[in-house]
Amino acid sequence: MTPVNPPVLSPSLRRGINLGNMLEAPKEGEWGLYVQEEYFELIKEAGFDFVRLPVRWSTHADESEPYAIDPAFFFRVDQVVDWALERDLVIIIDFHHYEEVMSDPWGNKERYLGIWKQVAERYQDYPSNVLFELLNEPNDQLNASLWNEYLLEALNVVRKTNPGREVILGPVNWNAYDWVNTLDVPNDEHIIVTFHYYLPFQFTHQGADWVEGSDPWLGTTWDGVDAEKAEITRHFDSVADWAQRHNVRILLGEFGAYSEAPQDSRLRWTEFVRSEAERRGFAWSYWEFAAGFGIYDPDAKVWREDLLKALIPQ
């Protein structure tokens, strides 16, 4: 007999891009960018095989049970997902910027699970190259102990309707590389563990207007000397060693250097981080497509070719 819910084969992830500052803004367009169909054509042609779609579901869901998601917003996400699938791109639906669950996990747990129930049901019949990411960068009051509890409950909600879908989860402290060892990884063959990497922070976030005190960092360089490379190598080795011990796949879900950093340093750092991820078999997705870290200029409608080549050598 054929099982009612046969296992779904894992799609391959290699090179991805985050569609940042779009659907995770409080309202689409509020941060200057809208998701456009032409972006997916460009991304595919450039050699990427997946996109990560940050979505601020919490802004579009009711405050009270059953926490209904706005139908118009759901249709918008459907449209974006379809644009990716039409071009054979894997797409990660990421639960992004749920600030309330970070500051008050206890008061938002049921809403968090209720939103995931709807998202999981909505996409249960979509192909296997739609992936779910349970929560972007858990932090603040959502500590490791609580997050291990919440992620398991969220995964159980997802598995009721999506028993074989690939699900991504990452550690607390903003998905920090050195917190992966706090994760209680569920016994589930369709799990991918993610971490984010923006170190040295004073280099990657110099001049970022949302980071208090970042202006004095302007002019910080990353020269690619042995000591700088060794630090990144050591960090990535620690993740790789942990992943091998726990038999899990790794996604470097975000990395990037802000546009205020010296461009030659940005290129060196980006190329090195990307190559170190690939050397260990990590999938990666660069932050991000067309905003402050972006590799595409949406006004001129051209790639920033030097950054693109740092990610996908020609």
Sole residue written with tokens 């659907």: 23
Please tell me which residue in 28, 137, 228, 276 is annotated as part of the active site.
137
Sole residue written with tokens 């500051």: 103
Query: Which DSSP helix (H) or strand (E) runs through 168?
Result: strand 167-169
Please tell me which residue in 24, 133, 166, 254 is annotated as part of the active site.
254
Query: Which DSSP helix (H) or strand (E) runs through 147?
Result: helix 144-161
Q: What are the structure tokens assigned to 164, written together?
A: 């074989």
Q: Catalytic residue at 254? A: yes
* Angstrom distance (rounded) from CA 113 to CA 259: 36
Cβ neighbors of 205 (< 8 A, separation 6 or more) are: 198, 211, 214, 217, 258
Task: Count H helices and E strands in the chain, helices first.
Answer: 10, 10
Cβ neighbors of 195 (< 8 A, separation 6 or more) are: 170, 171, 175, 176, 177, 180, 239, 250, 251, 252, 253
- The neighbour count for residue 162, using CB atoms within 10 Å, is 24
Report whether 122 contacts 92 (CB < 8 A): no
Q: Catalytic residue at 137? A: yes
Residue 8, Cβ density class (10 Å: 0-12 exposed, 13-18 middle, ≥19 buried): middle
Which residues are tagged catalytic?
A: 137, 254
